[in-house]
Chains A and B, each alone.
Chain A
Amino acid sequence: MAIDKNARYLESHEYAKPEGELMVIGISDHAQAELGDVVFIEFPAVGKELDKGVVFGTIESVKAASDLYMPISGKVVEVNEEVKNDPSLVNKDCYGSGWLIKVAPSKLSEFESLLDAESYGASIGEV
């Protein structure tokens, strides 16, 4: 499973990755593989302020529907419209074109407390 080294992770498989002033949020390769074909994503409204750990949306695959948790507190500045129209992008390129939302972080220090690539890899049994 691919683990993006520039991103940091929650144990629930969401990642946050710095992009300039913003944080890009998505789900890990491991998570998309476990979910199977993604068919729908429910996004938060742009402009919404969300704390770390709260549900920001749901992701639905042919097998299951799961909640998505904020890896970092902040304000939603963009949702991925392309993924809205084609959720399979999450399966194809979860760290690239399959990102979910972009957030203006309000507590940047939270990023450091997330799992780095190595610890996340260990948490899903990959070395």
Chain B
Amino acid sequence: MSFVPHTDLERAEMLKAIGIASIEDLFSDIPEHLRIEDLALPESISEIEAIDELETLASRNVKTKDMDWFLGAGAYYSYIPAVVPALAGRGEFLTAYTPYQPEVSQGTLQAIFEYQSMTAKLLGMSVVNASHYDGATALAEAVLMAWKARENRNRIFLPKDLHPEYSQVISTYCTSFDIEFIRYEGDPGQVAIDEDTAAIVVAYPGFSGQFYPVSKASDKAHEKGALCIVQADPLMCAIFKSPGEQGADIVTAEGQCLGNPLNFGGPYLGMMGTTDALIRRMPGRIVGQTKDKFGKRGFVLTLSTREQHIRREKAVSNICSNQGLSMLQTCIYLATLGKNGLQKVARLSYDKAHYAAQLIDSISGYHVVPKLFFREFLVETPDAAAKIVEALNKKGIVPGLALSRYYPERKNELLICVTEMNTKAQIEKLAVALKEAAK
């Protein structure tokens, strides 16, 4: 496809064909006072100047590689094998648009099918859809899905220990719906789920890193006819019991850590899986495997009748697309690592995080909060965490997230994340620096 714009001559011909004098006439329906008089754009510059300016701006970024990186809080610094961007960047994949037409989209459809199959296994669910914008929107969609599936029940239990941005997205999504949100603290297995409850959301793990077994909460939910939604760390599911194995009805996750780089503002990857019983309630699209008329294996969009392009206003959601490229990166990442490789990454992260937690907990004034965690843990600090972060930044360390960013009153709390990328030396350097910062 050519992206060369139309010539003046072509524009003149088109204007003549539709019988107007100028492009401005096309906007005559927009009231004068709503139009922008002067865009105040700077003079045009050459490509050389533009690149130079962009590079100058980009050089002000802090690179994960150049720092000792312990910041997570929903976005994780993980290794991405070279084959992932190399394959995902191929033109056949990069330019592929929404695969409405199976006859010209077999590659894209197969990639989606394989992504769905691998992640369904990882999360322990019957089916995973072709993806959502990010983990937070996937969770918000899951809340709506559960609420709609449980007619006449308006109560949804949300953990207090949930990523604050996820809470914000849920509340934005659900503004126009009559849903009563109740926040609970601690073990989801202790929540008083009742007949008015549509669903309980379990964070696996919570924002603080702490997690609880899901089974008790899902059993209790099912006893009362409610659903159990689990927001999971997908890497954690490689070595811990998956939410599906613990009775979850809907599982959502942020898939960035599986083969997608850290980007400010995304694109990230929303994962969602569910059970056979709820498959028709699930938003988003699903690719299925079938046979063509010659009996050869092929792939098509399936269950499209739930979707907006067929059901219009009665569709289960207005999600009508998926996060194609990020999903593809995750698909290739998972296929490259395989089950054993993924377990190894998870195990490394777990071991290193626990080594770090042990060191930090032994420093006077510091206290590791969660009893059970995977690769991220909240630490109580002897001084304002924001101050500690600032001091350590100067030493080339990004020690984590000061919780005061979201909760001004929680000054002395630092969220530390350790992934497979952190070396033993880095972890020990972090512990020494934290100790010095406490003096």
Interface residues of chain A, those whose CB is within 8 Å of chain B, are 40, 42, 45, 58, 60-61, 64-65, 67
Segment 297-338 of B: residues with Cβ below 8 Å from A: 305-306, 310-311, 314
Interface pairs (15), CB distance under 8 Å: A40-B280, A42-B280, A45-B151, A58-B314, A60-B280, A60-B305, A61-B305, A64-B305, A64-B310, A65-B305, A65-B306, A65-B310, A65-B311, A65-B314, A67-B314
**A67 to B, closest residue via Cβ:** B314
**B281 to A, closest residue via Cβ:** A42
**B311 to A, closest residue via Cβ:** A65
Q: A64 — which chain B residues lie within 8 A by C-beta?
A: 305, 310
Q: B314 — which chain A residues lie within 8 A by C-beta?
A: 58, 65, 67
**A42 to B, closest residue via Cβ:** B280
B313 CB to nearest A CB, Å: 11
A86 CB to nearest B CB, Å: 16
Q: B306 — which chain A residues lie within 8 A by C-beta?
A: 65
Q: B311 — which chain A residues lie within 8 A by C-beta?
A: 65
Q: A40 — which chain B residues lie within 8 A by C-beta?
A: 280
C-alpha gap A42/B311 in the complex (Å): 14
C-alpha gap A98/B305 in the complex (Å): 21
Give 9 closest A-B pairs by Cβ, nearest first.
A65-B305, A60-B305, A65-B311, A64-B305, A40-B280, A65-B310, A64-B310, A65-B306, A67-B314
Q: B280 — which chain A residues lie within 8 A by C-beta?
A: 40, 42, 60
Q: B310 — which chain A residues lie within 8 A by C-beta?
A: 64-65
Interface centre among B305, B306, B310, B314 (most CB of A within 10 A): B305
**B280 to A, closest residue via Cβ:** A40
Segment 123-158 of B: residues with Cβ below 8 Å from A: 151
Interface centre among A61, A64, A65, A67 (most CB of B within 10 A): A65
Q: A67 — which chain B residues lie within 8 A by C-beta?
A: 314
A68 CB to nearest B CB, Å: 12
Chain B: number of interface residues, binned into ranges: under 10
Per-residue 0/1 for B159-177: is the Cβ within 8 Å of any A Cβ (1 yes, 0 no)? 0000000000000000000
C-alpha gap A65/B280 in the complex (Å): 11
A29 CB to nearest B CB, Å: 22
Q: A58 — which chain B residues lie within 8 A by C-beta?
A: 314
C-alpha gap A67/B313 in the complex (Å): 12
B102 CB to nearest A CB, Å: 14
C-alpha gap A58/B148 in the complex (Å): 15
Segment 389-406 of B: residues with Cβ below 8 Å from A: none
Segment 53-68 of B: residues with Cβ below 8 Å from A: none
**A60 to B, closest residue via Cβ:** B305
**A59 to B, closest residue via Cβ:** B305
A100 CB to nearest B CB, Å: 17
Q: A61 — which chain B residues lie within 8 A by C-beta?
A: 305
Q: A65 — which chain B residues lie within 8 A by C-beta?
A: 305-306, 310-311, 314
Beyond A40-B280, A65-B305, 13 additional contacts (C-beta under 8 Å) are A42-B280, A45-B151, A58-B314, A60-B280, A60-B305, A61-B305, A64-B305, A64-B310, A65-B306, A65-B310, A65-B311, A65-B314, A67-B314
C-alpha gap A45/B151 in the complex (Å): 10
A93 CB to nearest B CB, Å: 23
B406 CB to nearest A CB, Å: 41
C-alpha gap A60/B310 in the complex (Å): 11
B245 CB to nearest A CB, Å: 27
C-alpha gap A67/B311 in the complex (Å): 10
Segment 273-306 of B: residues with Cβ below 8 Å from A: 280, 305-306
C-alpha gap A61/B311 in the complex (Å): 12
C-alpha gap A67/B312 in the complex (Å): 12
C-alpha gap A45/B153 in the complex (Å): 14
Q: A60 — which chain B residues lie within 8 A by C-beta?
A: 280, 305
A50 CB to nearest B CB, Å: 13
C-alpha gap A45/B280 in the complex (Å): 17
Q: A45 — which chain B residues lie within 8 A by C-beta?
A: 151
**A61 to B, closest residue via Cβ:** B305
**A62 to B, closest residue via Cβ:** B305
C-alpha gap A60/B306 in the complex (Å): 9
A85 CB to nearest B CB, Å: 13
**B279 to A, closest residue via Cβ:** A40
C-alpha gap A64/B314 in the complex (Å): 12
**A48 to B, closest residue via Cβ:** B151
B290 CB to nearest A CB, Å: 12
A5 CB to nearest B CB, Å: 32
B109 CB to nearest A CB, Å: 18
Q: B305 — which chain A residues lie within 8 A by C-beta?
A: 60-61, 64-65
C-alpha gap A42/B277 in the complex (Å): 12
C-alpha gap A67/B314 in the complex (Å): 9
**B306 to A, closest residue via Cβ:** A65
C-alpha gap A17/B3 in the complex (Å): 62
C-alpha gap A13/B151 in the complex (Å): 26
C-alpha gap A42/B149 in the complex (Å): 11
B438 CB to nearest A CB, Å: 60
C-alpha gap A58/B311 in the complex (Å): 11
C-alpha gap A30/B151 in the complex (Å): 32
